[in-house]
Amino acid sequence: MGIVPGWKFIMSDFHFSVGDIVKWRKWNSNKNIWDINYGIITTINDEIRFNRIVSICKVAPFNNLSSEMEFFAFGLKLVSSSKKGT
């Protein structure tokens, strides 16, 4: 299996680690605004979905740490890295 051209460039934007704090937006149709949510990454897995390899992050939202949510990595934005010095 060869390397897919451009794959390294595309995936280089998603350097998440378990313990990173991330944010995401969700449309609030009652207020007609985007609600911003924050959480901590608990697991990261590369999976094949729709015949493509994608990174899936499980996130424990700060407003409900008892339940995890799954996101495509590209839907999250890093707020604070768990790694020292980054």
Q: Output the pTM of the full model.
A: 0.74
Q: Nearest-CA neighbor of 45 among 37, 35, 55?
A: 55
**Which of the four pLDDT bands, split at 50, 70 and 90, describes residue 50?**
confident
CATH of segment(s) 16-80: 2.30.30
| Per-residue model confidence (pLDDT) at position 1 | 41
| pLDDT, tens digit, 9 for 90 and up, residues 2-24 | 455 554 444 445 589 999 999 99
| pLDDT, tens digit, 9 for 90 and up, residues 23-40 | 999 999 999 999 999 999
| pLDDT, tens digit, 9 for 90 and up, residues 51-73 | 888 899 999 999 887 789 999 99
E strand intervals along 1-86? 21-28, 33-49, 52-61, 69-72, 77-80
Map out the domains of the chain as residue ranges.
16-80
